[in-house]
Amino acid sequence: MNGAQPRVAIVTGANRGLGRATAVALAARDIRVVLTYRGDADEAERVVQEIQDAGGEAIAERLDLGDKSSFDAFRAGVLRRVDERWGRSDVDVLVNNAGVGVFGALESVSVDDFDTVVGTNLRGTFFLIQAFAPHIADGGRIINVSTSLTRHVSAGTSIYSASKSAVESLARSLAVELGPRGIRVNSIAPGPTATDFNGGAMRDDPELRRTLARSTALGRVGEPREIADAIVALASDGLRWVTAERIEVSGGSQL
């Protein structure tokens, strides 16, 4: 990281859910945040406002991980605004949080479902890292958001789990490739967490929450802030000797 200069992080999919909590938590640690949203600019601006109200600094940029052809313009826009706003020509942290899940039995998964999940979670994440790697400062961090479902699987999770296993694998390979520049690449694997994900089931379905609680050592589903704090820890200097790792943050799910 760059001594006296402001530190800068990009968090994808930060208009809501885990990304939003991560953006807020990083900003509270005096890290300037570029948060991305896909559809709802107003929702993203509310996160920017929340961060500013708490004394932090953030900007929002639109990103669709499914549209690789937009990545050059996205990168140019981010780098221009980061320079104008914070006087930096690069960034320190890239959190690849944005992702989608499609859940269903083998025979129910369509080619469109497959392309959406793999196109967003793997293809989008890979090419975003490719676009930004030259613009991540030496000593920086890349953190991919995976899932506990790469360790304990259940029926109907095949394509989602596979896409996230690939994201973890990517992190390990890129840790080797980017290690000579001091860039740490790791995965955070959340367990069930109360967000809009999967139709908000982990937040809103009492029966599912009870079932998940029974199979979790700490006896409940996670809250977004609990995942965000782990991402902040990985971004911090305290975990500077950690790279190529998968760290599960699930309260001990399905042990």
In degrees and rounded to multiples of 5, residue 64 shows phi and psi of -115, 110
- Residue 72's nearest CA partner among 13, 134, 122 is 134
In angstroms, what is the minimal distance from the CB of 63 to ligand NAP?
5
The reply to whether 65 sits near ligand NAP by the rule CB under 6 A is yes
Catalytic residue among 37, 126, 132, 160: 160
DSSP string across 182-200: T-EEEEEEE-SBSSSHHHH
Catalytic residue check, 160: yes
The reply to whether 156 sits near ligand NAP by the rule CB under 6 A is no
Stretch that binds ligand NAP, among 1-9, 126-134, 192-200, 210-218 (CB under 6 A): 192-200
**Tokens describing residue 26:** 């990083």
- In sequence order, which residues have a C-beta less than 8 Å from that of residue 254 and are 6 or more positions away? 148, 151, 152, 191, 215, 216
Distances in Å between the Cα of 158 and the Cα atoms of 93, 150, 161, 196 are 30, 10, 5, 20
The reply to whether 87 sits near ligand NAP by the rule CB under 6 A is no
**Tokens describing residue 246:** 């998968």
Q: Which of 129, 147, 216, 251 binds ligand NAP (CB under 6 A)?
A: 147
The reply to whether 56 sits near ligand NAP by the rule CB under 6 A is no
Q: Which of 24, 60, 98, 142 binds ligand NAP (CB under 6 A)?
A: 98
In angstroms, what is the minimal distance from the CB of 149 to ligand NAP?
7
In degrees and rounded to multiples of 5, residue 218 shows phi and psi of -90, 5
Residue numbers at the binding site for ligand NAP (CB under 6 A): 12-13, 15-19, 37-40, 63-66, 97-101, 120, 145, 147, 190, 192-193, 195-197, 202
